[in-house]
């Protein structure tokens, strides 16, 4: 293949340009030529050497050409033998249902090329799994992520959060590629069927989580309520500036309250204000910690405007999978631990008296400072290299 400028196109570029390979990044040849990056792949890919040469657009060596010439000579000899056998008594040639040696050679070469191409795709996919976790590969995928190449989450409450391709297994042939949403922390099948032939092992199980740890500054979802979810779910309130005032058995489809036996409504006090929320936890902004989960981000089953009870047979189940605390301080386990047992969240441990668990740190400090006991060596005469035994006590007579 060649580009519009007349220069031949590389195998890597042509592979990534195939319809359905839009998720792939172009692995640099420097990364592939480093033997350290290919450790352990020889046992997973058949015809590894030929596949690697095809990926790097390397011409086959002369040894292979010599072997092909030898095979060609042997096949010509077999062809002569076949011609001798397939002639009649008068020397005329008989037409039989046999395949000439040249045809067999072409068929074998075609089969070898198909096997090498399949092996090259498998090898490139496994190399790609390692490349996208490196710094240059991560930057390429970040550029694709910024241009919205991977699509968005189909879940309504994620507000169109952008997704990244991941795999459910690191071994090829297990699962196809999936899309990981950082807003709801779930995976989805790509909406287009052309991605169903892409192996998920070509992206691996590490990339999705490592990507958002490397780029924590990305905004995972849109600000505010772009889909007007508050109109269908009163609990949903992204700004937290309009607390609920009353609780009535009103329909979620209309604003007209449903008549009840008692004309009065039950007044509900607004929730207590939250304590000061941290801006970051473990280097990640708190507004990027699963923004698609939590109160108001879970669909509620309703029949004629009435919520279905959780104890009903058809009621909601396992809502805790989408749960997220309103107080982000509950997710800071390090601060909670040091608040309970004492110490500095930055890693400095202090000791002191009290019943808040500081004695635990004192025991650790004493345990670290305890001297190491050495085993005594027994000398040939039976004595030891330790201190001399104390003199026997008693009356001397």
Q: What is the DSSP code string of 108-156?
A: HHHHHHHHHHHHHHHHHHHHHHHHTTSHHHHHHHHHHHHTT-S-B---G
The CA distance from 27 to 121, in Å, is 13
What whole-number percentage of the chain has pLDDT above 70?
Answer: 59
Side-chain-side CA neighbours of 314 within 13 Å: the count stands at 5
Q: What is the DSSP string of 282-339?
A: TTEEGGGS-TT-STTSS---EETTEEPPTTSTTS---GGGG---SSGGGG-HHHHHHH
Alpha helices, DSSP H only, in 170-319? Answer: 207-214
The better pLDDT of the pair 383, 18 is held by: 18
Q: What is the tens place of the pLDDT at every residue in 19-59?
A: 999 999 999 999 999 999 999 999 999 989 999 999 998 87
pLDDT higher than threshold 80 for residue 130: yes
Inter-residue contact 76 to 101 (CB < 8 Å): yes
**In 3D, which of 211, 10, 224, 214 has the Cα closest to residue 124?**
10
The CA distance from 142 to 43, in Å, is 31
Q: Would you mind telling me the total number of residues written for the chain in this entry?
A: 397
Give helix then strand counts, H and E, for the chain: 9, 9
pLDDT higher than threshold 60 for residue 280: yes
Distances (CA, A) of 235 to 220, 248, 314, 318, 322: 21, 13, 22, 19, 15
Quick one: tokens of 288?
């990027």
Beta bridge partners of 199: 176
- Cβ-based neighbour number of residue 96 at 10 Å: 8
The better pLDDT of the pair 255, 315 is held by: 315
Summarize the confidence of residues 246-274 as an average pLDDT. Answer: 52
Distance of CA 376 to the CA centre of its chain: 54
pLDDT higher than threshold 80 for residue 257: no
pLDDT higher than threshold 50 for residue 350: no
Q: Report phi then psi at 361, rounded to 5.
A: -70, -35
Q: Report phi then psi at 87, rounded to 5.
A: -115, 145
pLDDT at 342 (0 to 100): 77
pLDDT at 315 (0 to 100): 76
**In 3D, which of 44, 190, 175 has the Cα closest to residue 122?**
44
pLDDT higher than threshold 50 for residue 242: no
Distance of CA 182 to the CA centre of its chain: 11
Summarize the confidence of residues 230-257 as an average pLDDT. Answer: 44
pLDDT at 182 (0 to 100): 92
């Amino acid at each position: 293949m060649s580009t519009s400028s007349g220069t031949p196109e590389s195998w890597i570029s042509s592979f990534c340009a195939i319809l359905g390979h839009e998720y792939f990044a172009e692995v640099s040849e420097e990364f592939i030529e480093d033997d350290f990056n290919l450790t352990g792949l020889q046992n997973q890919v058949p015809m590894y050497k030929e596949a690697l040469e095809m990926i790097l657009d390397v011409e086959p060596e002369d040894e292979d050409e010599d072997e092909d010439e030898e095979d060609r000579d042997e096949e010509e000899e077999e062809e002569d033998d076949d011609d001798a056998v397939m002639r009649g008594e008068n020397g005329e040639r008989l037409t039989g249902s046999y395949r000439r040696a040249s045809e067999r050679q072409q068929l074998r070469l075609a089969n070898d090329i198909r096997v090498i191409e399949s092996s090259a795709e498998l090898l490139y996919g496994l190399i790609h799994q390692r490349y996208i976790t490196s710094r240059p590969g991560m930057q390429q995928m970040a550029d694709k992520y910024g241009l919205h190449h991977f699509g968005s989450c189909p879940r309504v409450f994620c507000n169109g959060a952008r997704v990244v391709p991941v795999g459910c297994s690191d071994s090829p042939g297990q699962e196809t590629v999936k899309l990981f949403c950082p807003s709801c922390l779930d995976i989805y099948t790509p909406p287009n069927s052309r991605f169903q032939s892409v192996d998920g092992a070509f992206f691996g199980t590490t990339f999705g989580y490592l990507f958002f740890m490397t780029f924590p500054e990305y905004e995972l979802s849109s600000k505010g309520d772009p889909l007007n979810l508050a109109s269908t779910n009163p609990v949903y309130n992204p700004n937290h500036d309009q607390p609920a005032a009353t609780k009535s058995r009103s329909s979620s489809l209309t604003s007209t309250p449903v008549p009840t036996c008692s004309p009065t409504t039950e007044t509900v006090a607004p929730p207590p204000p939250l304590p000061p929320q941290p801006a970051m936890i473990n280097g990640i902004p708190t507004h990027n910690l699963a923004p698609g989960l939590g109160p108001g981000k879970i669909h509620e089953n309703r029949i004629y405007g009435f919520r279905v009870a959780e104890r009903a047979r058809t009621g909601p189940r396992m809502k805790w999978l989408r749960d997220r605390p309103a107080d982000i301080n509950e997710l800071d386990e390090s601060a909670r631990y040091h608040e309970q047992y004492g110490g500095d969240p930055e890693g400095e441990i202090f000791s002191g008296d009290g019943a808040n668990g500081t004695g635990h740190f004192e025991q650790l400090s004493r345990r670290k400072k305890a001297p190491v006991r050495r085993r005594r060596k027994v000398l040939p005469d039976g004595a030891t290299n330790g201190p001399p035994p104390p003199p026997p006590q008693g009356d001397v007579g």
